[in-house]
Structure 1
Amino acid sequence: MTGNSLTGNSLTGNSLTENSPAEGPLTGQDRRQALLRRLAALPPARREALRRAMTGASAVPGLPLSSGQERLWFLNRFDPADSSNHILWCLRLRGPIDPGGLAAAFTAVAGRHEVLRARYRMDGDRPVQVVPPPEPVVLELADGGADPDAAVIALFDRPFDLERHPPIRVALIELGEGHALLCIVLHHIAADGWSLNVLMREVGECYAAHREGRRPALEELPARYADFVAWERGQAERVGPARLAFWTERLAGVPVLDLPADRPRPPRWTGRGGRVELHVPDAEVVRFERVAGQQRSTLFMALLAAFQATLGAAAGQDDFCVGVPVAGRGRTEFAPLIGYFSNTIALRADLSGDPSFRDLLGRVRPATLRALQHAGEPFERILGALRLPRDLSRPPLCQAMFNLTHNLPKDDLLRTAMGDLGVEVYPPPETGRTRAEISVDLYRGPEGLGGSLEYGSDLFSAGTARRVAAAFTALVTRAGTDPDLRLSELSRLSGISGLKGE
């Protein structure tokens, strides 16, 4: 640096260490006081530059994190080996695979989206993200051997060092005969479900462009993830107090969901989990949708009500919270970005008075609509405002989660070609991780309702999870036929008699 810089007028010539001849010799204490006065007179930006130069800190200024990122950062610091906040996506590739082209495609996308190459560290008492210049994304090569799922799980489980390495890793796992698995693992701090579709759209275009010797046909991004962080902070100042008041009033005094467990609860939540599949045939879903429509409810609202009824019967409770993820991209300029935008809203169940399923829908619908009107309030701020008792053995506030992935873009996730390669989704193996004690993730397809139930394996056996899944799907089927049955009767007919036991 030259001119008015740390090597110019700041530390040499007319500098902090110069004595005026008129002042005469200075004592050590005089020198320290003079130095402090001159430091105090520097502009803030110059003081910060000097501090970084003297301490060896990065010259790249740190950017603030979003509320969701801050929580994920502290969870990672608390348990760096926990992979429950990793996102996995795998594709089977067929054809003349070009590893160099794949690496170049991911490198190009990371060059467009700063969040894919950010590093996270503490700056004083706050975490910041530092974005280095674009750098190559390494494509790892592995042999799938006789058990490619084991290679996938090893890639998924490997911890992210968020301070030193980017929050994305990519591997090509050879299967032989011109087949390979392209496996992508992202830390949640840099991406969400919506981001996966953006990532695959841009990687597909960049790979095709590389193979065809042309420039990728990608539009310039209208914003950066840092713009979302600034917008979120501005929202917190403008409308945050009213939104927060809604949630603190709505959730005051909510009890934990205390499901009867097969095993003693460990003192600390570990995130270890398992998964069982769910399915409801199309004809039964159509009847269930008809009931929902009669109450002016969506399929999402009706399935949430059925899940609440299942949990309430299993736990013997009529009051608890179910967490629901929302996209969190309230502005159009955020739609084409990769980043962690998703938020969780806590929907409080009200099963009091043993209502009919139809009456329960009449409660769930307005409660869901009001919650969605206030969905922009970050979950982390709600947790802080509620001042819940500290309990490391459970996920905070929402021990159960529910998701219907009907509103997320997925055309590029389900793509069948990438350049000259044939592509199909490779069902990810069970990772053994979960973010809730019990959660349901569903999708509506032409064959009906599909999805999975994940469960905390520290608490529940696989047999218990299968019974809960069967009871939930049975309740959906029965409610579609007899929506005026009370929940107690629906639960009895669906076989919900508690979770415990094989």
Structure 2
Amino acid sequence: MTGQAPPEERESPSERVPAGQALSSGQAPGAGQDRRQELLRRLAALPPARREALRRAMTAAAAGGLPLSSGQERLWFLNRFDPADSGNHILWCVRLRGPVDPGGLAAALTAVAGRHEVLRARYRMDGDRPVQSVPPPEPVVLERADGGADPDGAVLALFHRPFDLEHDPPMRAALIRLEERHALLCIVLHHIAADGWSLNVLMRELGECYAAHREGRRPELPELPARYADFVAWERGQAERAGPARLAFWTERLAGAPVLDLPADHPRPPRWTGRGGRVDLHVPDAETTRFEQVARERRSTLFMALLAAFQATLGAVARQDDFCVGVPVAGRGRTEFAPLIGYFSNTIALRADLSGDPSFRELLGRVRPATLRALQHAEEPFERILGALRLPRDLSRPPLCQAMFNLTHNLPKDDLLRTEMGDLAVEAYPPPETGRTRAEISVDLYRGPEGLGGSLEYSSDLFTAGTARRVAAAFTGLVTRAGADPDLRLSALTGPTGLKGE
């Protein structure tokens, strides 16, 4: 489908229309027939694949629910397995300075949810499969709280509250009052409805809808070219068209991959809990620039070089030369999916090959082609790969990829880091540590003018904060040393200043 049709209602010049709300008015005789004819013309103009996607969506809706994407299905079952786990919650907060209009914010959130059905969806079981249904647009409730001396406490309370995905929308928001004319707007989404890319879309539309409300006009937002349901249909069609070949690439590449067995400080719990901590990472600009030059000499990207450094660090800690690292990819290869909110991201498993104690330059020569081949097959849903591998059931650790790596500087974030919203000054608010992690150890980095920044998250069930800091220092130290001398072998790069042998 092509999103929402332009509203038919007309606005009276003397009336102020809240964002996301329309005034009803009469239609001229024949307007309904004209609209039907226009709809038929638009349907006839759709490409065959889009018409098929629409047919499937309508068939599913008539049967009582829309299908989920493969990623959504896994998140749904994880939520059913442990409804109180907030590990798949997404948090974004901004500080607002100026005369905040709570009604305008609520109306703006309502308008955004009205455009993106995934923000209103409910999830339930239908026989042996989960389905989603989309109720009509309804007002979004903007919760209110007093930050007092501990605004982070109010933020975390909002973040950790479980989502009832069957009965409640997968988004909530709160306005937390700070000092006079200052407040925090905090938005929490369940991952089943959004990903990192979605946050930028959300803030772009929220800013425009709030400004429109304050100025007494309609939001100037383009019609959405698709719905999330179109992505679900496209993903399923891709799996049918690709056949077994794309899946075979992954099963052959990942067959027999061992778990990453990091030495733990505490006994491993019988079931993965997602409890975690976070330590900061930083590599100064001069060292980062030198490291980037090494990557360019091997025709590699900064991402590939940092992934190689992370693999080398993990290999030294675990004393392994074979394991998998999970990498998130945006999953928005089609242009019509770019302006949508939804869970499009996928995980690709990149298998490390540290055998033979290569130099860092040689390791880059292995990582680059392996990454390029993996990206060519990145549309294969991670969940299908896990099912095809038939891994032994182990509830104590994440499947296949115990470690994750992410470099976020390529994600769109102009609106995420916006500095104004209507008549308000806006500033991103550093989120407090949530105490959750999705992997035993993960690195999340960005490239900025001051070098590399980011964080290392770790399972607090397994590791102490001191161990996490040592792993972080080993990683940043390896980046610095590899940038200075990429012909050093990994045993030298991770030697006395790393963790090997500790």
Normalising by structure 1, report the TM-score: 0.87
Offset of 1:59 from its aligned partner?
8.1
Trace 1:307-456 onto structure 2 (pairs within 5 A): 307-456=310-459
Offset of 1:60 from its aligned partner?
8.3
Aligned to 1:245: 248
Trace 1:457-468 onto structure 2 (pairs within 5 A): 457-468=460-471
The one-letter amino acid of 2:223's match is E
Aligned to 1:257: 260
Which secondary structure does the structure 2 equivalent of 1:232 belong to?
helix
Q: Deviations over 1:336-384 (max 9, x none)?
A: 0000000000000000000000000000000000000000000000000
Q: Deviations over 1:389-415 (max 9, x none)?
A: 000000000000000002110000000
Q: Choose 238-247 or 353-362, whichever is displaced more.
A: 238-247
Q: Is the contact between residue 319 and residue 500 of structure 2 (CA under 8 Å) also seen in structure 1?
A: no
Superposed CA RMSD? 1.0
In structure 2, which of residues 108, 112, 118 is the aligned counterpart of residue 105 of structure 1? Answer: 108
Which secondary structure does the structure 1 equivalent of 2:495 belong to?
helix
Aligned to 1:204: 207
Distance of 1:241 and 1:418 partners within structure 2: 48
Aligned to 1:482: 485
Which secondary structure does the structure 2 equivalent of 1:264 belong to?
coil
Which secondary structure does the structure 2 equivalent of 1:494 belong to?
coil
Distance of 2:152 and 2:244 partners within structure 1: 47
Which secondary structure does the structure 2 equivalent of 1:477 belong to?
helix
Distance of 1:371 and 1:494 partners within structure 2: 32
The one-letter amino acid of 2:179's match is G
Percentage of pairs with the same residue: 88
Structure 2: gaps spanning 5 or more residues:
1-60
Q: Is the contact between residue 119 and residue 165 of structure 1 (CA under 8 Å) also seen in structure 2?
A: yes
Distance of 1:126 and 1:269 partners within structure 2: 24
Q: Deviations over 1:61-106 (max 9, x none)?
A: 3100000000000000000000000000000000000000000000
Q: Is the contact between residue 240 and residue 377 of structure 1 (CA under 8 Å) also seen in structure 2?
A: no
Which secondary structure does the structure 1 equivalent of 2:282 belong to?
strand
Distance of 2:422 and 2:245 partners within structure 1: 49
Going from structure 1 to structure 2, the CA distance change for 1:77 and 1:222 (only over 3 Å counts) comes to same
Which secondary structure does the structure 1 equivalent of 2:281 belong to?
strand
- For the pair 1:63 / 2:66, whether they are aligned, the reply is yes
Aligned to 2:14: none
Q: How many pairs does the alignment contain?
A: 442
Distance of 2:442 and 2:144 partners within structure 1: 34
Distance of 2:501 and 2:237 partners within structure 1: 46
In structure 1, which of residues 128, 133, 154 is the aligned counterpart of residue 131 of structure 2? Answer: 128
Distance of 1:94 and 1:297 partners within structure 2: 43
Offset of 1:130 from its aligned partner?
0.6
Going from structure 1 to structure 2, the CA distance change for 1:163 and 1:103 (only over 3 Å counts) comes to same
Distance of 1:494 and 1:440 partners within structure 2: 19
Q: Deviations over 1:251-305 (max 9, x none)?
A: 0000000000000000000000000000000000000000000000000000000
Going from structure 1 to structure 2, the CA distance change for 1:154 and 1:241 (only over 3 Å counts) comes to same
Distance of 2:369 and 2:411 partners within structure 1: 23
The one-letter amino acid of 1:93's match is L
Which secondary structure does the structure 2 equivalent of 1:292 belong to?
helix
Structure 1: gaps spanning 5 or more residues:
1-57
Offset of 1:493 from its aligned partner?
4.6
In structure 1, which of residues 190, 193, 200 is the aligned counterpart of residue 193 of structure 2? Answer: 190
Aligned to 1:142: 145
The one-letter amino acid of 2:269's match is P
Which secondary structure does the structure 1 equivalent of 2:352 belong to?
strand
Offset of 1:177 from its aligned partner?
1.5
Distance of 1:453 and 1:299 partners within structure 2: 18
Going from structure 1 to structure 2, the CA distance change for 1:242 and 1:147 (only over 3 Å counts) comes to same
Offset of 1:217 from its aligned partner?
0.3
Distance of 1:377 and 1:119 partners within structure 2: 26
Distance of 1:198 and 1:252 partners within structure 2: 38
Structure of higher CA gyration radius: 1
- For the pair 1:152 / 2:164, whether they are aligned, the reply is no
Distance of 2:366 and 2:426 partners within structure 1: 44
Q: Deviations over 1:296-347 (max 9, x none)?
A: 0000000000000000000000000000000001100000000000000000
Aligned to 2:169: 166
Distance of 2:496 and 2:345 partners within structure 1: 37
Distance of 2:240 and 2:500 partners within structure 1: 47
- For the pair 1:297 / 2:300, whether they are aligned, the reply is yes
Q: Deviations over 1:434-467 (max 9, x none)?
A: 0000000000000000000000000000000000
The one-letter amino acid of 2:471's match is V
The one-letter amino acid of 1:255's match is P
Which secondary structure does the structure 2 equivalent of 1:152 belong to?
helix
Distance of 1:328 and 1:291 partners within structure 2: 29
Q: Is the contact between residue 93 and residue 429 of structure 2 (CA under 8 Å) also seen in structure 1?
A: yes
Aligned to 1:216: 219
Distance of 2:389 and 2:381 partners within structure 1: 13
The one-letter amino acid of 2:335's match is T
Distance of 1:59 and 1:161 partners within structure 2: 24
The one-letter amino acid of 2:478's match is L
Offset of 1:496 from its aligned partner?
2.0
Aligned to 1:278: 281
Distance of 2:135 and 2:121 partners within structure 1: 7
Which secondary structure does the structure 2 equivalent of 1:237 belong to?
helix
In structure 1, which of residues 83, 86, 91 is the aligned counterpart of residue 86 of structure 2? Answer: 83
Distance of 1:428 and 1:293 partners within structure 2: 34
Offset of 1:494 from its aligned partner?
3.5
